[in-house]
Amino acid sequence: MAFALTPERERELQDILTRYPNKMAATIPVLHLCQDQHGWISDEIVHYVSQKLDVPPAHVKGVVTFYTLFNQHPVGKNQVWVCRTLPCALRGAYDIIEHCEKRLGVKCGETTKNGKVTLRTAECLASCGTAPMMQVNQQYYEDLTSEKVDEILRKLQES
């Protein structure tokens, strides 16, 4: 079955197109719209966006592969990004990453067996003064400790 946006998201797509000087300029927001629905950007979605925006599939694929916020494979229900940039690293980010890996039973870039959490690292999540920090979906958690991380991950596993 070919990918298609829901009627509501199709209306959002049309609204997005009105905000840009040309269709190509809307590539990123349209990809986000598709990813919000499907969870990741498959080759089928690349072709869908290519057709909707009248741009070559190579352009869409280039955008998908350049930006780390586009998932190129299926991911967990929740995405956990641990910042590893220097300020976070100096304040224990690598200990937090190791703790997350042990607690979740996965390495960075992997998804838990139950499909609830994908663990990743990020380059700078812009919270240097409150390092170490992580982003879970769209929410930031700062001044992390192992205890705080345990509570965050417990809630994700229960959801």
pTM: 0.78
Domains annotated on the chain, with CATH:
7-66 (1.10.10), 78-158 (3.40.30.10)
Alpha-carbon 22 to chain mean position = 26
Question: What is the tally of helices (H) and strands (E) in the chain?
Answer: 7, 4
pLDDT per position in the chain (159 positions), as tens? 689 999 999 999 999 999 999 999 999 999 999 999 999 999 999 999 999 999 999 999 999 999 988 999 999 999 999 999 999 999 999 999 999 999 999 999 999 999 999 999 999 999 999 999 999 998 999 999 999 999 999 999 888
The 10 Å CB-count burial string (b at 16+, else e) for 22-56 is eeeebbebbbebbbeebeebbeebbebbbebbebe
